[in-house]
Amino acid sequence: MTERLPVILDVDTGIDDALALLYACASPELELIAVTCVAGNVSLAQVARNTLGVLELAGRADVPVAVALGADRPLVKPLRTTEETHGPHGIGHAALPATGQREVASVGAAQLIVDVARRRPGEVQLITLGPMTNLAAALDLEPRLPSLLRGWTFMGGAFRVPGNTTPTSEWNVFVDPDAAKACLAVWAASVGADPGTRLPLGMGLDVTESARVMPADVARLTRRAGAAEEDAAALADPSTLMQSGGSVAASPALRFVVDSLRFYFEFHAQYDGFYGAFIHDPFTLAATLDPSLVRCEPVFVDVEVGPGLAHGMTVADWRGITGRAPNIAVATSGDAATFLDRLIDRIGGLAGVSGS
């Protein structure tokens, strides 16, 4: 097997973060070194509880993954959470087992990111799936992170499409636009100092909203996990839609996936007009592991932190009017079908192993 990619996942574990964690635990090409928690979808304490519970559910107690606590609020703005999107506890209608042996690390998230990058220079990929507050703090501790990390991938921004939180702003950037601005500025300076700096991969709504997971996909995932056909079929049957029963309910991992996604589908039905879900975070992880899933364009991006309708906007200089060198590689298109097939295969396979 080729070398595994050492990864730190930075999460605000909500429903799609949870799917990304399961995808990570089911991906042999990834070495999950640590998971750092940041307040966003829900409070930091709830993010940590959810993260520990999902790792427990993944049945990967063998994996010595450090889970570290990070920022409990943005750099400047007061914290805003979104229980209406992810449920009162951030995992929709699901419940998680009380966590067993895994505890949070004694070191904070920012310090852990810096320590790991210094210990394994040029090797580790940081993937932020929530507000970028922890990375901003880590950059304060170690401004050389862009050259110490192998690279940075982030889920965030809306570069040629509308926002999902305001007309111009995507949630992760909206919660902490100051952190996003600071992180992008450090990478811009790093590129200025060393044009060979690997550009961060920016997975914005432009691509993450091209993949919709639907009830039929959830049914496919449970079949992949070995669920009885009538239980799998019931998930896509309008009369029993997304209710986990029989062999699905008997698998803790499958029940978690179904019950968390049912809430997410209800949210998308209300706000986006379809009974399914955009799953931003696992698409971001999948594209990091397999760059062939997306096409990217280098572009200079800054973040609006001022008031008004453009607050939290990721402003991309597509025409090069500012004369600023590109500081990120923005994903402009993606292979949603291949991503969904891989998500179903990997999480279905994991659930079948650990969940049944």
List interacting residues with ligand RIB (CB under 6 A). Answer: 12, 14, 16-17, 40-41, 129-130, 155, 164, 170-172, 280-281
Pairing verdict, β 201-203 and 294-299: unpaired
Give residues 9-28 in contact with Ca ion (rule: CB under 5 A): 12, 17
Contact residue for Ca ion among 96, 129, 145, 203 (CB under 5 A)? 129
Residue nearest to ligand RIB (CB): 171
Closer to Ca ion at the Cβ: 176 or 281? Answer: 281
SS (H, E, C) the chain: CCCCEEEEEEECCCHHHHHHHHHHHCCCCEEEEEEEECCCCCCHHHHHHHHHHHHHHCCCCCCCCEEEECCCCCCCCCCCCCHHHHCCCCCCCCCCCCCCCCCECCCCHHHHHHHHHHHCCCCCEEEECCCCHHHHHHHHHCCCHHHHCCEEEEECCCCCCCCCCCCCECHHHHHCHHHHHHHHHHHHHHHHHCCCCCCCEEECHHHHCCCEECHHHHHHHHHHCCCCHHHHHHHHCCCCCCCCCHHHHHCHHHHHHHHHHHHHHHHHHHHCCCCCEECHHHHHHHHHHCHHHEEEEEECEEECCCCCCCCCEEEECCCCCCCCCCCEEEEEEECHHHHHHHHHHHHHHHHHHHHC
Phi and psi at 237, nearest 5°, equal -85, 120
Smallest distance, Å, CB 193 to ligand RIB?
30
Nearer to ligand RIB, 166 or 240 (CB): 166
> Is the Cβ of residue 172 or residue 354 nearer to ligand RIB in the bound state?
172
Give the footprint of Ca ion on residues 166-205 (CB under 5 A).
none
The residue among 299, 73, 64 whose CA lies nearest residue 176 is 73
Q: List the single partner that 92 binds among Ca ion, ligand RIB, none, CB under 5 to 8 Å by kind.
A: none
Name the minimum Å distance from CB 291 to ligand RIB.
Answer: 20
Q: Is 130 in the site for Ca ion (CB under 5 A)?
A: yes
Stretch that binds Ca ion, among 68-76, 125-133, 270-278, 322-330 (CB under 5 A): 125-133
> Which is nearer to ligand RIB, 125 or 172 (by Cβ)?
172
Q: How far is the CB of 172 from ligand RIB (least distance, A)?
A: 5
Q: Does 131 bind Ca ion (CB under 5 A)?
A: no
Choose the one of ligand RIB, Ca ion, none that binds residue 171, judging by a C-beta under 5 to 8 angstroms depending on kind: ligand RIB
Residues in the chain: 356
Q: Minimum Å distance from CB 303 to ligand RIB?
A: 14
Stretch that binds Ca ion, among 45-53, 96-104, 126-134, 255-263 (CB under 5 A): 126-134
Instruction: Report the partner that residue 170 touches, choosing among ligand RIB, Ca ion, none (CB closer than 5 to 8 A by kind).
Output: ligand RIB
Active-site positions?
A: 280
Range 219-248, binding Ca ion (CB under 5 A) = none
**Residue nearer to ligand RIB on the CB measure, 71 or 227:** 71
* Contacted by 164, from Ca ion, ligand RIB, none: CB < 5 to 8 Å by type: ligand RIB
**For Ca ion, which is the closer residue by CB, 16 or 231?**
16
Least distance CB 282 / Ca ion (angstroms): 10
Determine, following the binding rule CB under 5 A, whether residue 157 of this chain makes contact with Ca ion.
no
Q: Which stretch binds Ca ion (CB under 5 A): 30-38, 121-129, 180-188, 347-355?
A: 121-129
Q: Give the C-alpha distances (Å, rounded to integers) separating 158 from 57, 81, 121, 187, 230.
A: 32, 19, 31, 19, 40
Contact in structure between 70 and 141 (CB atoms under 8 Å): no
Query: What residues make contact with Ca ion under the rule CB under 5 A?
Result: 12, 17, 129-130, 281
